[in-house]
Structure 1
Amino acid sequence: MPTTTTQGVTVTVTTNYLPDYSSPAQEHFVFAYRIDIRNDSEFTIKLLRRHWYISDVGAGLREVEGEGVVGRQPVLEPGEAHQYVSGCNLKSGLGKMRGTYLMERLASGEHFQVNIPEFTLIVPFRMN
């Protein structure tokens, strides 16, 4: 599981290929990913925005940016964690994602970025 820590905030990623939602004949491969965010800093933080870079061997690079994650802007006290599941579709069945979260330290209003580790999205039959 790819994991990275930035300024006391740890992000871990787990991925799954979803064959029931995919259609290889139409070059449509769907993946789910679970993100675990743990606040091991001494500050209460709020996740404001996300910024993703999605690389697809069959379609190049695309960016996705927006507020929060899956419609939420979670607040994490020191020692707390937040998990969410989202998804991504690829044309090739082979790609990778990486990105950042924009966080705010609530006591000071200071903004900072947290890295999301790069992770691969690979259809199982491509691994052989």
Structure 2
Amino acid sequence: MNFEPLPGLSVTVDSVSYDPTRPAPPDRPHPFVYHLSIHNASHDVVRIFGRKWIVRDTDGDTMVVEGDGVVGQFPNLSPGETFSYNSYHVIKTESTATGSFFGTTPDGRRVCTRIPAIEMHPPMPA
């Protein structure tokens, strides 16, 4: 399936923070909360229907996270609208997350926009 970048559709990383109160499995004990905003400055209505994250750590491990919607929603962004949300990644060691959101326009074009890289640096053990 081919997706084309849509000029004017963009993502900003509003904040990233370490949050040890979030649940995390023993093999990935470091939760990082991120806040993102998807901005539609294009001339088209865009329905966001999916996302893909690639999380690479300094040990050379890569985790791919794909799914439908955005935090259980399928935002329909008219020109000039923004959709903001937060979620989190759990990591083992220093990691970088990159990704994309995927959508469609009313005329059926498949469009995408890149998510800027998120750098996650767990605190050093005491």
Q: Fold-level match, TM-score > 0.5?
A: yes
Question: Structure 1: how far apart are the matches of 2:48 and 2:55?
Answer: 20
Shift of the alpha carbon at 1:119? 1.6
User: What does residue range 108-123 of structure 1 map to in structure 2 within 5 Å?
Assistant: 108-123=107-122
Describe the SS at the equivalent of 2:72. coil
In structure 2, relative to structure 1, the CA distance for the partners of 1:112 and 1:26 (3 Å cut) is closer
More helix by share: 1
Q: How does 1:26-45 map to 2 (within 5 A)?
A: 28-45=29-46
TM-score (norm 2): 0.84
Map 1:44-55 to 2 at 5 A: 44-55=45-56
Using the TM superposition, give the Cα deviation of residue 73 of structure 1 relative to its aligned residue in structure 2, in angstroms.
Answer: 0.7
Q: Percent identity?
A: 29
Distance 2:110 2:43 in 1: 15
Task: Tell me the alpha carbon deviations over residues 81-101 of structure 1, each in whole angstroms, 9 at most, x when there is no partner.
Answer: 000101110111x11100111
* Aligned AA (1:99): G
**Cα distance between partner residues in 1 of 2:113 and 2:27:** 36
**Who is 2:71 aligned against?**
70
Deviation of 1:57 after TM superposition, in Å, equals: 2.3
Gap runs ≥5 in structure 2:
none
Q: 4+ runs of 1 displaced by more than 6 Å?
A: none
Which runs of no fewer than 5 residues in structure 1 stay unpaired?
Answer: none
Shift of 1:117: 1.1
Distance 2:66 2:23 in 1: 24
Aligned to 1:82: 83
Q: Which moved more, 1:114-123 or 1:37-46?
A: 114-123
Provide the aligned C-alpha RMSD in A: 2.2
What residue identity is the alignment partner of 2:105?
A: R
Q: Does 1:100 align with 2:78?
A: no
